[in-house]
Amino acid sequence: MLLRMNVLAAELNQDLEGTIVSRLLSEFGKRIYFPRGIVAQASEADRGAHRFNATVGIAASHGQPVMLPSLQMLLSDLTPKEAVAYAPTAGVPALRELWKKEMIEKNPSLAHARFSLPAVTSGITNGIFQAATLFVNPGDVVILPDLCWDNYQLIFEEQRGACVVHFPFFAPGSSAVLNIAGLREVMQAHRGAGRITLMLNFPNNPTGYSPSFHEMDQLIEAITDLAESGTDLLVICDDAYFGLYYEPETCPESIFARLASCHDRVMAVKVDGATKEEFAWGFRIGFVTVGSRGLTDNHYAAIEKKLMGSIRSTVSSSSGLAQNLLVHVMKSASYHEEKQVEFSMLNERYRKVREIVSAYTKGNDRDLEPLPFNSGYFMSFSCGRVDAEELRNALLAGGIGVISIQGNYLRVAFSGVDEESLPALFDEIFSAARAVRRVA
């Protein structure tokens, strides 16, 4: 049975006709729209109803949302509207503008690029879900590294019914680190599909690796070459750990900054958030930003309307309280200084782990092989002679929590352990590995 398309969706599709967005939209993405209903009319009332506003379903007194006194005491620096009112569907405007400004400052390559105003989602997971919902159909090819966050599988394979294909993240038996040749091979093998989704996550979870300047150039070249061959690419950039780079040879920009204007057949979606960048994990504030060469402001407005329709029909809107708290924090005179203090703490932990692992790798009898790492929250071991799950359980029995992956890798989040405790943690890991070593 054919579904009748809403006229608002048809209008947005017409606005996007002839662009890569039109070619990449999922069937849901084509159907979705932002209704001219309660939320849209309430937004108009916010601007024009200067006498009485009887639109939104909230309790108000003298023009301000009602707020319990005990809650108001806890949030005395915020107005009732900032604290308990609904946020706009696409997010608090001031926060969106601040986030875009910060994004350009952190990614100078974006200074002259045209891209969308970041839209707020209910966490980074929800941001990835929104992108997948708008642009991935059942059966579409989605390329992931073999070492990746397990939630990708749930979103793309289980939620969207996509065909997930993996490439080895690290180059085997080579002086290279990232397996860009392997990525090229997988992309070329599936170019006949006409459209491909590629998911990239730097710093990578679980390995804690980010590309060097040279590797970043190679990645852009590989993606552009595929686009030149006539394949449309959606590249979703999971920047959850963006900015946590500890080595000078690591490229400090998001790959989105290069992809947003690299080719007419490449559309990049940057998903980032306050989760790690602002050390506000439980706020559940993420952002979705779209960029592609040739898209105009009108195109981005149409994309935003579709994204707003998707947000409206799932989470409705994200926490207004969390967003307004972030606005105050990001406008604070000490904002950047405070963040630098926390970055320095993580950098020192990284240096200590690097020192510990370097000493360990000088030994000849190793049960664990450290994978390359240079950024983020994590480092991981390849467990060639140890079963990772058995090792995890042995450590847990001794009061230590780590993550086993695929039975072959062990992820250690050094971000969550004080620097002075790191030697004891890794001593326990190495000792437990010897105890559960596989017998040849």
Q: How confident is the model at residue 101 (pLDDT cuts 50, 70, 90)?
A: very high
Distance between CA atoms of residues 56 and 45, nearest Å? 9
Amino acid at 84: V
pLDDT at 164 > cutoff 50: yes
> 336-435 is classed in which CATH architecture?
Alpha-Beta Complex (3.90)
Residue 119 half-sphere exposure, CB side, CA atoms within 13 Å?
Answer: 31
**Four-residue CA torsion sign, 254, 267, 165, 221:** negative
pLDDT tens digit sequence for 252-295? 999 999 999 999 999 999 999 999 999 999 999 999 999 999 99
Mean pLDDT in residue range 154-165:
98
Tell me the C-alpha distance between 118 and 100, whole Å.
6
Model pLDDT, residue 440: 42
**Per-chain mean pLDDT for the chain:** 94
pLDDT value of residue 120: 98
Contact 268, 235 (CB under 8 A): yes
Nearest-angstrom CA–CA distance, 188 and 141? 12
Query: How far is 315 from 25, CA to CA, in rounded Å?
Result: 21
Average pLDDT over residues 240-246: 97
User: What would the mean pLDDT of 84-107 be, rounded to a whole number?
Assistant: 97
Q: Is the pLDDT of residue 175 over 70?
A: no
CATH assignment, 8-41+76-330: 3.40.640.10
pLDDT digits (tens, 9 = 90+) for 369-396: 999 999 999 999 999 889 999 999 999 9
Counting beta carbons within 10 angstroms of the beta carbon of residue 419, is it exposed (0 to 12), middle (13 to 18) or buried (19 or more)? Answer: middle
Span 226-240, mean pLDDT? 97
Q: Is the peptide bond before 211 cis (omega within 30 degrees of 0)?
A: no
Dist. CA 274–CA 288, nearest whole Å: 12
Q: Which of 49-53, 70-74, 81-85, 217-221 has the lowest mean pLDDT?
A: 49-53
Backbone angles phi, psi at 145, to 5 degrees: -70, 155
Q: What is the pLDDT of residue 36?
A: 85
Sorted by where each begins, the domain ranges of the chain are 8-41+76-330, 336-435
Report which listed range, 55-59, 61-65, 244-248, is most confident: 244-248
pTM: 0.95
Collapsing DSSP states into helix, strand and coil, what is residue 101? helix
The one-letter amino acid at 414: F
